[in-house]
Structure 1
Amino acid sequence: MTTAPRRPTAPAATTRDGDSGTGPSGEPNGSGTTGTELRRALGRRQMALLGLGSALGTGLFLGAGAAISVAGPAVLISYAAGALIALVVAYALGEMVSAYPVRGSFGAIAGRFLGPFAGFSVRWIYWIALIVGIGSEVVAAAIYLRFWWPEVPLWAAVLVFAAAVTAVNTSGVRSFGTTESVLSAVKAFAVVAFIAIGTVLIVFGLPERPATGVSNWTAHGGFVPEGPVAIWLVMAIVLFSFAGIELVAVSAPEAKEPGPALRTALRTLVLRLSLFYLGAIAVMLAVLPWTEVTAGHGTEASPFVTMFAAAGIPAAATVTNFVVLVTALSAANANLYAAGRMLHSLGDDRLAPRALGTTTRHGVPRRAILFSACGFLVVAGVTAVFDDRVFGVLLALGTFGIVAVWIVILLTLLAFRRTPDPDRPPSTLRLRGGRITPLLGIAALLSVYATGFAVPEMRLACAVGVPALLVLAGSYVLLVRRRDLRNTP
């Protein structure tokens, strides 16, 4: 038996109910399991909300304050640019994964078109980035909890939330999908309500508060108070806000109708995220001067809570804090799902311990999920030492990993297009612009890495991230290549 990563194959023809007789790698699926396969149980709406659940998290509700503190109102330009980059990556994913909805998703596809080391490294980088992202979400949730109980130790709240998220993830995928769909719908409704209430404050005002208009966009140092360079400096935070769109592609092997579901989910996901981020931040900056928004973003409350409190709506601040707490937990829940599935694919391809590639009789990769959840313990320990200062570091480290993954996705698309395959199923989504669009996307992502020279948190991320890549390379040579040579006749 070969030990190289499994070659992505075309999905089997689907039956009338949207399931298929075999899984993405040719193994049977459905209600029975062989101990390694996942179960197709996610519908189109669940896939779309799953991606929204991952991406709509601390990047908006807590990280936005950090971005505003650097760029002021000009952060709207940064988020528009981030949305454009995310759109390019989403369509690149859709073009490849709709043809090959395999376990390991873009990582397995990278292994085929860029070589085994690419498939090995990008999956491990993505898994590490997810663990860091999960940590940042539960730390954010613990920070939100301090709005009511400031005396609660941050590390204790992290452990409690981690246990809850792990319990939800180890249930069946159908139950997980339903739970995450509800949580995602709640926070999407909350953002829409926030934008609507903010619009009322801007246009009509309240009995004791006149309409603000949009003068705050330029009233305190102009629209670009910190200079044009600041628009670029916050791109690391902005891209972290959109991280999670790739989760839709990771969930494709568990979708009832992978191709149509992937197309629908990716098309709507980036549009919704763009409207939510740009709309919510534009409203926030119009109601409050940007200097006041940044004053309250750090540890006591999110910018959303700060805005409602300043608007004189007392109950809204409490409700909003509850919503953003649920939002952070929802994002952590979705990211743990992706981490478990990615680690499961590595175990199944013998790029991680084989035990991690097994599933329960209900098709849940429980061992991979529990192993991924151990990252919570690390985060709790670090939080106990550094308290809320750890959030900015986690955000920067997560961004480093996500940017690396997005660059590999675009490189894989270029190789995917250069390698014709008459047996390849047609893609249901296609990135327009030929080679130019993915190349521009890669250039933009590389420019984000360059912020490491100017942003202290990103300098730390680069200092940790680059050696981590070297460790992965060494691990591949020592573990995988040596094993392959030993098994070669």
Structure 2
Amino acid sequence: MNPTPASPAPQSGTKATDAGADASPPLSHGLKQRHLSMIALGGVIGAGLFVGSGAGIAAAGPSIILAYALSGLLVMLVMRMLGEMSAANPASGSFSVHAERSIGPWAGFTVGWMFWTLLCVGIAAEAIGAAGIMVHWFPGTDSWMWVAVFMAIFCGTNLAAVSNFGEFEFWFAALKIAAISVFLILGVLAIVGALPGTDAPGGSNLTGEGGFMPNGSNGLVVGLLASVFAYGGLETVTIAAAESENPVKSVAGAVRTAMWRIALFYVGSMVVVVTVIPWNDKSVVKDGPYVAVLDHLDIPAAGNIMNVIVLIALLSAMNANIYGASRMSYSLVVRGEGPAVLGRVYGGVPRLTVLASSFFGFVAVLLSYWWPDTIFKWLLNMVGAAVLVVWAFIAVSQLVMRRRLQREAPEKLVVKMWLFPYLTYVALAATVAVLLLMLREDDTSTQLYFTIGLTAVLALIGYARQKAVAGRH
């Protein structure tokens, strides 16, 4: 199939049109509403919730419920702001395009390439995690072999029509949602004493073993940070919405779906875990909170069941990250913020950016093998707080764009941020507060410093490009 060459992209420093700076050459609109609905509902639920939440529970105790609720409220505000902008101007570059239009080309460059770096490192981390499960199941096999298999499968999936990505994510998300739903049902039955063979715990696990906040405010802060990063990735649904059959309608529906999912799946899961078993049960961290609860309820083969679910979650997130990275880099390229050669579209798919994003993901995997305690750890630290920087850019962008839309095109405000501008300021202040809280912990402070460094480097490059282009006109 012959490639569709990119039409001349707006140069860095030029104003994007309302039609979308990245609207040409055309991407396929092959994602159906059912794809978007399911991706929004469960597409980015990853191992961070299934396994990683154990560390947050160990630190915060029962107050992990409060931590997830508070960070969930912040995410709801961020998604509402992003939904407002994306419904008004659907674009495959999502918040990068919004930042360029509202703040300036340097901002779109900075947040776009930062998010791309975050996703590429995420591809590597998920591939390594999935390979570890396979090696556990098939002793004697090498991790690199499974990484190669997974990279080939999902790179190939993303090279094909976007509907293939949609189908994979639809079924992956459906399986994850089914698993969490069964978990929540079993948990509620156990809590009320309706599950055969179990005694109703009542509120003893919420108030015993040191009380609701056994480790005080410090524990709550650690739990809050863990919960914030568990929510990362929700932004990808607005990228995918640009390739749906009806982008405006899809964005509005996806934002609403994401909101109630936060309340039910994330906060609900934490309520079940810390109510059914003591928060300081060693298996919560060792085996993961979901496995710990299922074992406590004497569910047969709980460990193997959850390993399957975690594997699905890892592969789903890996698939979504390849997709998100390829679309974000494609958007940057056709806006003049990256190598122009990558801006070709084949059959409605930006295959060169898929290959480039997969390549850098695979390079990150190799780095993890060669220097696991140095270079790969450095990469992970560098993007550790990237999602918070993205949220801050989203908030500032929405402050500017909302006022512009009210003046120039109020009919485009089909999704509106609540109590504007007050809740936007609340979201921005909360994001900054979480960044400052990261300074209280050694691990998270290191991540913050590295992320600040990456942000500064990208911002300087973006600003220099913007000035250079402006000087030529």
The normalised TM-score by structure 1 is: 0.87
Q: Partner letter of residue 241 of structure 1?
A: A
User: Out of 129, 134, 142, which is 2:123 matched to?
Assistant: 134
| Aligned-partner residue type, residue 435 of structure 1 | P
Q: 2:181 matched to 1:192?
A: yes
1:242 corresponds to which of 212, 231, 241? 231
Counterparts of 1:468 and 1:65 in 2: how far apart (Å)?
A: 29
> What is the aligned partner in structure 1 of residue 3 from structure 2?
none
Match of 2:298 in 1: 312
* Aligned position for 1:228: 217
Shift of 1:398: 4.4
Amino acid at match of 2:352: R
Report the CA distance shift for 1:421/1:113 in structure 2 as closer, same or farther (over 3 A): same
Which residue does the alignment assign to 1:428? 414
| Cα distance in 1, alignment partners of residues 90 and 156 from structure 2 | 27
Map 1:43-58 onto structure 2 (within 5 A).
Answer: 43-58=32-47
**Residues in 2 aligned to 1:449 and 1:151: alpha-carbon distance in whole angstroms:** 43
Worse-superposed segment, 95-104 or 370-379 = 370-379
Residue 481 of structure 1: aligned partner: 467
Are the structure 2 counterparts of residues 188 and 111 from structure 1 closer, same or farther at C-alpha, using a change threshold of 3 Å? Answer: same
User: Given that residues 147 and 321 in structure 1 are in contact (C-alpha distance below 8 angstroms), is that contact kept between their aligned partners in structure 2?
Assistant: no
After superposition, residues 160-309 of structure 1 pair within 5 angstroms as: 160-204=149-193, 208-292=197-281, 295-297=283-285, 301-309=287-295
After TM superposition, give the deviation of residue 241 of structure 1 in Å. 1.5
1:358 aligns with 2:344: yes
Say whether 1:344 aligns with 2:330.
Answer: yes
Question: Given that residues 136 and 391 in structure 1 are in contact (C-alpha distance below 8 angstroms), is that contact kept between their aligned partners in structure 2?
Answer: no
Shift of 1:151: 6.1
Asked if structure 1 preserves the Cα contact closer than 8 Å seen for 2:107 and 2:462, the reply is no
CA shift in 2, pair 1:25/1:206, >3 Å: closer
Answer yes or no: is 1:378 the counterpart of 2:367.
no
Once the two structures are superposed, residues 210-244 of structure 1 have per-residue CA deviations (whole angstroms, 9 ceiling, x without a partner) of 33334222221111111023222332321122122
Q: What SS is found at the alignment partner of 1:98?
A: helix
Q: Quote the residue 2:307 is aligned against.
A: 321
Q: What's 2:425 paired with?
A: 439
Give yes or no for contact 2:381–2:451 (8 Å, CA) kept in 1. no
Partner residue of 2:12?
A: 4
Q: Does 1:334 pair with 2:342?
A: no
In percent, how many aligned pairs have the same letter?
A: 31
Are 2:108 and 1:119 equivalent residues in the alignment? yes
Mapped to 2, the partners of 1:96 and 1:471 lie a distance apart of 27
Q: Deviations over 1:267-313 (max 9, x none)?
A: 01121132101111211222221112x54535xx4322233233322
Corresponding position: 1:412 with 2:397: yes
Indicate the SS of the match to 2:49.
helix
Letter of the structure 2 residue corresponding to residue 290 of structure 1: W
Distance 1:433 1:79, change over 3 A: same
Match of 1:16? Answer: none
Structure 1 residue 107, shift from structure 2 partner: 1.1
Who is 2:72 aligned against? 83
Letter in 2 for 1:98: A
Partner residue of 1:471? 457
Counterpart CA distance in 1 for 2:377 and 2:276 is: 26
Say if 1:325 and 1:393 are closer, same or farther in 2 by CA, change over 3 A: farther
**Which residue of 2 is the match for residue 18 of structure 1?**
none
Cα distance change on mapping 1:64 and 1:453 into 2, 3 Å: same
Asked if 2 retains the 8 angstrom alpha-carbon contact of 1:341 and 1:365, the reply is yes
Alpha-carbon distance, 1:324 to partner:
1.8
| SS of aligned partner of 2:437 | helix
> In structure 2, do the counterparts of structure 1 residues 248 and 368 end up closer, same or farther at CA, with 3 Å as the change threshold?
same
Q: Which residue of 2 aligns with 1:20?
A: none
Return closer, same or farther for 1:297/1:406 CA change in 2, 3 Å cut-off: same
Structure 2 counterparts to residues 57-72 of structure 1, below 5 A: 57-72=46-61
| Residue correspondence of structure 1 range 382-401 to structure 2 within 5 A | 382-384=367-369, 397-401=382-386
Aligned-pair CA distance for 1:25: 5.7
Aligned equivalents of 1:26 and 1:473: distance in 2?
24
Give the Cα separation in 2 of the matches to 1:304 and 1:102.
37
Pick closer, same or farther for the CA change 1:354–1:82 going to 2, 3 Å: same
What is the alpha-carbon distance in structure 1 between the residues aligned to residue 140 and residue 436 of structure 2?
A: 39
Q: In the alignment, what sits opposite 1:104?
A: 93
Q: Which residue of 2 aligns with 1:14?
A: none
1:67, distance to aligned residue in structure 2 (A): 1.0
Q: Distance in 1 between matches of 2:463 and 2:403?
A: 27
C-alpha distance in 1 between matches for 2:42 and 2:194:
32
CA distance in 2 between partners of 1:268 and 1:389 (Å): 40
Other-structure match for 2:4: none
Residue 341 of structure 1: CA displacement?
0.3
Q: Quick one: which amino acid aligns to residue 53 of structure 2?
A: A
Structure 2 counterpart of 1:31: none
Amino acid of the structure 1 residue aligned with 2:393: V
Unaligned runs of 5+ in 1: 12-22, 28-35
Q: Which deviations, in whole Å up to 9, do the C-alpha atoms of 1:378-432 show, x marking residues without a partner?
A: 3323432576999998776544111001110010111112324434642221111
CA distance in 2, matches of 1:319, 1:388: 31
SS at match of 1:290: coil
| C-alpha contact (below 8 Å) 2:23/2:91 kept by paired residues | no
Q: Give the secondary structure class of the aligned counterpart of 1:182.
A: helix
Aligned partner of 2:223: which letter?
A: V
Q: Work out the CA distance in 2 between the residues paired with 1:153 and 1:308.
A: 30
Structure 2 distance, partners of 1:423, 1:205, is 55
Structure 1 residues 398 and 478, CA, compared in 2 at 3 Å: closer, same or farther? closer
8 Å Cα contact 1:237/1:396 also seen in 2: no
Measured on the aligned residues, the alpha-carbon RMSD in Å equals 2.7
